[in-house]
Structure 1
Amino acid sequence: MIKLVIVDDHAVVRSGLSMLLNAKEDLEVVGEAADGDEGIRLALEHRPNVVLMDLSMPHGKDGMTATKELKEAAPETFVLILTMHDDDEYLFRAIHAGASGYILKSAPHEELLNAIRSVASGQAYLNPSATKRLMGEYMDRMRSGEGGGSLEALSDREKEIVSHVARGYSNKEIAEQLTISVKTVETHKANVMEKLGLKTRPELVKYAMKKGLLNFE
């Protein structure tokens, strides 16, 4: 039996998901929460196999923060992000927060059920459209060399900035962690983007993953 906790700020969504999941012999919803704080509490209380986590919740902790904190407190619990955000930046941030899967709320029921079972078995899951898009972009960059500027062109401080950006930190948070000004962070980011030939934050995140900068200290 796969036990689940649903975290979503919409009661109708929680109710619909509970009805769908509880109708399956191998699935059981053991808790429902309207925000990240309550989701963490229920997950630590019930120790589910999988937490279905929304990202955008206006009250309490958002899904990204809750995922990170939950994985630190209960690493054996898998988190499957269920969201309306079909966006590469959200996807990368969710993965680095500790999520094992990412699926859209518009996905068919069978896809959701497959994602839950995959994540519960310890496998990673990305919705097919995201997988296809990311692989296509990666192959295009490999062929064209776009966004493949030399890592040696970056200073250690710039590598630090890239690492923090890729892990989802804001300019203010980066400035506080590195004990520099927000203006300095912005300057470093602009220099990095120019050196690497990148234009957007998601491109910078992908570059950091490709070059192994996510854990650069």
Structure 2
Amino acid sequence: MSLRILLADDHAMFRSGLNAVLSTQDDLCCVAEVADGQAAVEETARLRPDVAILDIRMPRLDGLRAAERILNRPGNTTKVIVLTTYDEDSYVYSALHMGVSGFLLKSVPPEETIAAIRIAARGDAIIDPSVTRRLISRFAGSIAPPASSTALDRLTAREYEVLMLMAQAHSNTEIARSLGIGDETVKTHVSRILAKLGLRDRTQVVIYVASHQLVTPLPAPPPGAEKPARRKGSGRRRAT
């Protein structure tokens, strides 16, 4: 069965172009194109698409308020992706806090937009990597989790590593490759992390990491890697 998509953007040419991209995929089908946020809310309620893709700046009702109304509608099952040229922090935070399943810039390649639609439809979330990097860098105020007893204390060392990679928008496959573990193991870690921290999805992971001022730890050297040689005649370890 094809995933049913609604496109909301006040630029007709962009809508047509994205619709053409979606039409190349057997499992994706555009069921409506609208030019403003109010129409997006009304057509989403009428058609109940699997995913609604919204621009931010649209007439009658902007994309963020449209997303909020769609997501707060009783019985709603439509996932929302914000696809925009505007990546101001206020827009990003508003979108993430209201529970959108994706925040992407229009500059992403078409294949990444297609992948984001499938990710959102299955209940996961994705954020443009460039936006994620900026969010994390803005909150890189500490080098370790808070020392006080928090939900973070319940994470294992491996789960903490997975948490950091999730916050950088890495997929399960990328996390598995980075840590040298299997995909199923990653899925188990992700489920346990979300449960322990009381988070709903990967979007909330980014908010959590940013608000707790966490930074990504340096990766451990691969097994069997040689340790840096100590300089002969020096009893002090060289700073790196």
TM-score, scaled relative to structure 1? 0.64
Question: Which deviates more from structure 2 when the two are superposed, residues 95-104 or residues 44-53?
Answer: 95-104
RMSD, aligned α-carbons: 2.1
Deviation of residue 75 (structure 1)? 3.0
Larger of the two Rg values belongs to structure: 2
Answer yes or no: is 1:19 the counterpart of 2:20.
Answer: yes
Using the alignment, how far apart are the partners of 1:50 and 1:14 within structure 2? Answer: 15
Structure that is richer in helix per residue: 1
Preserved CA contact (<8 Å) 1:82 1:102: yes
| Unpaired segments ≥5 residues, structure 2 | 145-206, 213-240
Answer yes or no: is 1:67 the counterpart of 2:67.
Answer: yes
Using the alignment, how far apart are the partners of 1:37 and 1:12 within structure 2? Answer: 20
Q: Please name the residue that 2:87 is paired with.
A: 86
Using the alignment, how far apart are the partners of 2:111 and 2:62 within structure 1? Answer: 26
| Unpaired segments ≥5 residues, structure 1 | 145-205, 212-217
What secondary structure, in the 3-state scheme, does the structure 2 residue paired with 1:141 have?
A: coil
Q: Please name the residue that 2:142 is paired with.
A: 142
Deviations 1:149-169 (Å, cap 9, x if unpaired)? xxxxxxxxxxxxxxxxxxxxx
Using the alignment, how far apart are the partners of 2:138 and 2:122 within structure 1? Answer: 29
Deviation of residue 87 (structure 1)? 2.1
Using the alignment, how far apart are the partners of 2:115 and 2:135 within structure 1? Answer: 21
Using the alignment, how far apart are the partners of 1:71 and 1:46 within structure 2? Answer: 14
Using the alignment, how far apart are the partners of 2:32 and 2:99 within structure 1? Answer: 21
The one-letter code sitting in structure 2 at the alignment partner of 1:122 is G
Using the alignment, how far apart are the partners of 1:97 and 1:9 within structure 2? Answer: 22
Q: Please name the residue that 1:103 is paired with.
A: 104
Using the alignment, how far apart are the partners of 2:133 and 2:36 within structure 1? Answer: 31
Matches within 5 A, 1:154-165: none
What secondary structure, in the 3-state scheme, does the structure 2 residue paired with 1:29 have?
A: strand
Q: Please name the residue that 2:125 is paired with.
A: 124
Using the alignment, how far apart are the partners of 1:141 and 1:69 within structure 2? Answer: 35
Deviation of residue 5 (structure 1)? 0.2
